[in-house]
Amino acid sequence: MPSEFFKKTLDPVIALAAIAVLDIFLFLMIGAFTVGGGETMMTGLIAEAAMGDDLQRLPFWNLVFEPDPTYWKIYISLGMLFGAFVSAVLSKEFYIRMPRRLSEWVLITIGGLLMGIGIRLAFVCNVSTFFGMTPEMNMGGYLAISGILAGAWVGSLIYKKILEG
Amino acid sequence: MSAIGQCLIAFVFGSVVGILVQRSRFCNTAALRDAILFKTYRNTKALLVAMIILTFGFTLFLTFGEGNPMRFDVGLNTFAGLFIFGVGMVLAGACTVSTWVKTGEGNVGALWALLFTFVGMFLFSLAWSANYWPPAPASMTGEPNLEALQLGYSNAATLQEKFGIPAIVFGLVQVGVLVLIYRAILRKEAAQAERHRQSQAARAVATAAE
């Protein structure tokens, strides 16, 4: 049976229903599924390793995110990386893929930067929006969904223009 | 619970999510982009199902004062930040989950997006250290602060406190709205399938006539 699991594509509705049930347990034990906070802490830890005490000159890293390797949200991301790696190896889907064209590298670079800036400006990421705030009926969830829909629409227009050449 | 215990639970949770997302090819970016650009809803439906289950579960437990909801003020920055994020995720072709999952599959582009997400976060920390906006969680009050473009803090639990109506009632209203959106998508897909069937039939008739 487990080998069958790694041969066929899983219905995303089943996958997401399972994730939702697990997220309810996580919400009861620690807090809802989130990624952006852990990524910010990783950024802080990397910056601290690179800059040492100089990082203290930036108040953000004292007042908002003080670098702490025992921050639980980091380990959700590391877990996803580990789980996806194991799953890809077991399904024989692990192989090194590189963007081929320069334009792809440029888009990924700009997209990555915008995601990082956006998460920090909002204090939430897309995961917190859909898997945390909105199901908690937090007012921020509705603001965030409006923002991400508008952004995805503008992004899609840009993407379409680029596709059409 | 100890910090190490929390980290272990988070790692196990993340690992299972990584496996499920890798096997299902679920992508949050595709859930929004494909619905907007291509009118396909494979990922959108999955996202809606998750939100229906979560809304019911979270508001049920919030009714009894259980759970650990996010506690911080929201405001214009919440909308603006996710707007910027939305543009970025479509351009990068990945969101926070898929960058980790695709990196685990050996996708160098996803790793690159992840690295630049970190760079973006660091750049924002420079800007924040100069203007201190939006307010740090420590200085948030939970009340609207229009000067700082903040609307305060409210969720199903605060609604229960304010109106004396159980949080689950608000949750069920939201579940109802999400189910309506899900059904509208199913109707749209049925119409698409019908149009496809008709065009196939018309093509078959035309081929037979030739």
8 Å CB contact of B70 and A95: no
ipTM of the complex model: 0.96
Which B residues 79-138 touch A at CB under 8 Å? 79-97, 99-109, 112-126, 128-129, 132, 134, 136-138
Helix axes of A12-29 and B3-24: crossing angle, nearest 10 degrees: 170
Residue B2 lies in a domain: no
8 Å CB contact of A19 and B77: no
Question: B101 lies in which domain range?
Answer: 28-209
Task: For residue B91, give the nearest of A13, A111, A153 by CB distance.
Answer: A111
Contact A43, B116 (CB under 8 A): no
Please report which confidence band the pLDDT of residue B147 belongs to, taking 50, 70 and 90 as the band edges: confident
Please report which confidence band the pLDDT of residue B117 belongs to, taking 50, 70 and 90 as the band edges: very high
In chain B, which residues have their Cβ closer than 8 Å to the Cβ of A122? 77-82, 85
Q: How far is CA B38 from CA A153, A165, B192, in A?
A: 12, 18, 12
Task: For residue A118, give the nearest of B62, B88, B94 by CB distance.
Answer: B88
Residue B155 lies in a domain: yes
In chain A, which residues have their Cβ closer than 8 Å to the Cβ of B148? none
In chain A, which residues have their Cβ closer than 8 Å to the Cβ of B114? 39, 112
Nearest chain A residue (CA) to B31: A152
pLDDT value at residue A1: 53
* Residue owning tokens 């953000």: A60
CA angle (A35, B87, A146) in 5-degree steps: 75
C-alpha span between B157 and B170 (Å, rounded): 10
Number of compact structural domains in chain B: 1
CA angle (B96, B99, B101) in 5-degree steps: 105
What is chain A's pLDDT, residue by residue, as a tens digit (165 residues)?
A: 567 899 999 999 999 999 999 999 999 999 999 999 999 999 999 999 999 999 999 999 999 999 999 999 999 999 999 999 999 999 999 999 999 999 999 999 999 999 999 999 999 999 999 999 999 999 999 999 999 999 999 999 998 898 787
Task: For residue B11, give the nearest of A70, A75, A151 by CB distance.
Answer: A75
Contact B46, A13 (CB under 8 A): yes
* Residue owning tokens 């997302």: B21
Q: Is the pLDDT of residue B141 over 90?
A: no
Nearest chain B residue (CA) to A102: B109
8 Å CB contact of B121 and A13: no
Residue B6 lies in a domain: no
Query: Chain B: nearest CA to A116, how far in angstroms?
Result: 4
- Centroid of chain to Cα A117: 13
Q: What are phi and psi of A132, to 5 degrees?
A: -135, -75
Beta bridge partners of A97: B107
Residue B54 lies in a domain: yes
Query: Chain B: nearest CA to A1, how far in angstroms?
Result: 14
Residue B9 lies in a domain: no
**Closest among A145, A125, A147, A133 to A80, alpha carbons compared:** A125
Beta bridge partners of B75: B150
